[in-house]
Amino acid sequence: MKHLISQLNRAQQQAATAQLGKILVLAGAGSGKTRVLVHRIAWLINEMCVRPSSIFVVTFTNRAANEMRSRLKEMLKQNLSDMWIGTFHGLSHKLLRLHWQACDLPQDFQIIDFEDQLKMLCCLFRKLGIDEEHYKPRQAQQFINGNKDEGIRAVQLALAKTAFESVMIKVYQHYEQMCNGSGLVDFAELLLGSYELLSQKLDLLEYYREKFAHFLVDEFQDTNIIQYKWLKLLSANARSVTIVGDDDQSIYGWRGARVENIYNFKSEFGKTQVIRLEQNYRSTETILSAANAVIRNNNGRLGKTLWTHTGYGEPIQIYGALNEEDEALFLVHQVMQHRENGVELEDIAVLYRSNAQSRVLEEALLRSGISYSIYGGVRFFERAEIKDILAYLRLSVNTSDDVAFERVINTPPRGVGEKSFQKIRDLSQTLGVSLWDAAHHLLEGRNLSCRACDGVRHFILIIEGLTEKTKGSSLVSLVRDGVQKSGLLAFFQEQKGEKGRSRVENLEELVNATKDFKIDLVDLEYASDILPVTAFLSYSTLHSGGRSLNCTTNGIQLMTIHAAKGLEFPLVFICGAEEGLFPHYLSKEDPLAIEEERRLCYVAITRAMRQLCITYAQERRIFGREEIRQVSRFVLEIPDTLIEEDHRKIRVSMNLPKRMSKSETYKLTDVGDNNKEGALLGRQISHKRFGTGIIVAQEGSGVQARIHVYFDEVGQKCLFMKYVHLETI
DNA sequence: ACCACCTGTTATTAT
DNA sequence: AACAGGTGGT
């Protein structure tokens, strides 16, 4: 152990070996916080004789939890299955599974994702006859989740002051009933439910307080109100609480996260030892200075400045592309060049603000033959065909699951159309029973058309067949059965083209995935009587993040900045650094939101170890229309001295993207002949206000004629020929 | 009931 | 540019 500890720096050692009690570790990006946490746990076990079963570790992502567990296993070489380690949601889920009876939940309750939740709310809006012009289901979703994140139930809400509020409260109430009736639990409910469980069943609370004496929490700046209360409740008698966080990396305010939690920790938890980790081991000085320069523009920080002695390294490269296709082309170009210089593709990451940006980049990469993998986006378990088959499985364990019923009663089409389904819905409402039961009643009542009757009957048989299999057979054979008997496989096989093929492939991939699925993946090994399907279904929604199931991590990696948090790469590209995109236009009104965007930028920059390249497009297609864009303010906050100045070489040598060259009004030819269009390209010119520059593009004709000029001093500008007086040099 | 086609609408970020 | 929802023909 001494040997292990000696590998840490002073501050890290201090944190890892601190005396029991409350410890707040302010850990800057790349300062080795995971390392500290792992060593701290190892220290507790080895030096303080703490039993693993009394340790409780909370992280934010499954990835972080897995990494920590495997690092610990390697370091300690002992069985750690008694230690509770997981995400807030994962651990809450575990509590609910273990104590489902005390929570008044059905044993096979299922977790619903965002999409399911929204569908339920849409359904509810129709049922309650709410005017969808004025009130949107999306707003209700926000309202409900927002309140749940703060630990507030519908009944606890203050009386409505506005019409809007009263509608929302009504929806919230009905939504709760609907979830209870169907045995469904949403993400926020996992936390709220387990919080209420602990605060209401005092014997359980006592038990867990006794059991867990040591708490460790990662990414504390991202906790929301209910997570904070949950933690506080559980750790009231703890002998040690170690929290790690960085207020500069708080990027989940929109999900209810409160940075204040980290500011108030000292006063709330009592005597606290604060340790700062400010030495960065990840990035070059250049990258770090850029990050520091950007984040300095935020107010109310706890304040810390990262330093390193790894040398300056490469300057930060900035590329202002003509449009998003040019940006993608540039990326391809750069990646190829780096590959020639011996950089592994795995060491390259491409980060962007929103998922929609990935498409153009993907297309360019695909054309160039550079392999890549994408993290996030439309994730595997969120694909329509996968959710369809999961809906069959959900019904097979719980026929009250109305969302699942609604999803697949007529997928694939089996003659139960809108009319018939409405009958089922009506009956379910008048009798106050599930859609499934209503369908049963309706069959007896002979109120359906022949075709619909056959369809419903067939559907019921499929589900009942699957239910039989949930007990005896293996998970694989159940899923394989579901894929076939549901008719989904055949349905997709008949679909022509790329779409149908990929859907069939995905179904096959799902079957394969179930082969090596183990219950302990869900961390539920204690809930021994849980059905394998239920465990699998829970896993599928809780771990929906992450790459598609086949873990091909070769090639460059594409992901949103949010998804990149906690990761590091030798070479990082940040794409779409434009006003309106990053910072996002929905954030620009609110100064606090802008600060969060800036923190996001800080996170993005600090992912890079050796080299950073930032790109933006001067024109981008938004809603199909081309819009002129401006470079992100965050880029302007980076000092010039850190930035590579000579962009011209790249710019002029680049081919123009196909969208441009196809267009009639935008022809480009060799430089040299003044009579041809595009002849001015590459010419050096001087402008009385902007100074000297180089012409990089030319478009339009007559009065519309304009040129794009890259000026040495002020960057790229678009100028109308008829207004400017230029001099060629 | 289902399919093909048309039209208006529209988007952060994600456990 | 993509997508949900509506329309009209089979």
pLDDT tens string A377-434? 777 888 888 899 999 999 999 999 999 999 999 988 888 888 888 888 889 989 999 9
pLDDT for residue A542: 87
pLDDT for residue A513: 84
Cα angle at A378 between A375 and A382, to 5 degrees?
115
Which pairs from A7-13 meet CB under 8 Å and 24+ separation?
Answer: A8/A32, A8/A35, A8/A36, A8/A39, A9/A279, A11/A275, A11/A276, A11/A277, A11/A278, A11/A279, A12/A36, A12/A39, A12/A277
| pTM assigned to the model | 0.84
Q: Is A515 a catalytic residue?
A: no
**A113 strand B contact, CB < 7 Å:** yes
> Which band of pLDDT confidence, cut at 50, 70 and 90, is reported for residue A589?
confident
**A353 strand B contact, CB < 7 Å:** yes
Q: Which residue has the higher pLDDT, A435 or A666?
A: A435
The count of residues in chain A is 729
pLDDT for residue A401: 93
The percent of residues above 90 in pLDDT, for chain A, comes to 50
| A557/B2 CA-to-C1' distance in Å | 42
| A455/B2 CA-to-C1' distance in Å | 14
Residue nearest to nucleotide B3 (CA to C1'): A413
| A376/B14 CA-to-C1' distance in Å | 9
Which DSSP letter does residue A246 get? Answer: -
Give residues with Cβ within 8 angstroms of A476, minimum separation 6: A511, A514, A515
A613, A560, A550: which is closest to A582 by C-alpha? A560
Computed over its alpha carbons, how large is the radius of gyration of chain A? 29
**CA A152 remoteness from chain centre:** 25
Span A523-539, pLDDT tens digits: 666 666 788 899 899 98
End-to-end alpha-carbon separation of chain A, Å?
Answer: 69
pLDDT for residue A668: 30
**A547 strand B contact, CB < 7 Å:** no
Q: Which residues face A245 on adjacent strands?
A: A26
Q: Rounded to whole angstroms, what are the CA distances from A193 to A95, A282, A409?
A: 9, 39, 30
Judged against a pLDDT cut of 80, whether residue A482 lies above it is answered with yes
Closest nucleotide to A354's CA, by C1' atom?
Answer: B12
Cα angle at A444 between A441 and A450, to 5 degrees?
110
Chain B nucleotides near the protein (CB, 7 A):
1-3, 10-15
Half-sphere exposure of A3 (CA within 13 A, CB side): 2
Span A259-285, pLDDT tens digits: 999 988 999 988 999 999 999 999 999
Which residues does strand C reach (CB under 7 angstroms)?
A 122, 359, 621, 623-624
Q: Is A607 a catalytic residue?
A: yes
CA gap A404, A395 in Å, rounded:
6
Span A304-317, pLDDT tens digits: 878 998 899 999 99
Three-state SS sequence of A283-309 = CCHHHHHHHHHHHCCCCCCCCCCCECC
| A94/B3 CA-to-C1' distance in Å | 45
Residue A520: Cβ-neighbour burial (10 angstroms; 0-12, 13-18, 19+): exposed
Judged against a pLDDT cut of 60, whether residue A648 lies above it is answered with no
Span A224-235, pLDDT tens digits: 999 999 999 999
Q: Which residues face A711 on adjacent strands?
A: A693, A715
Peptide bond into A412 cis (omega under 30): yes
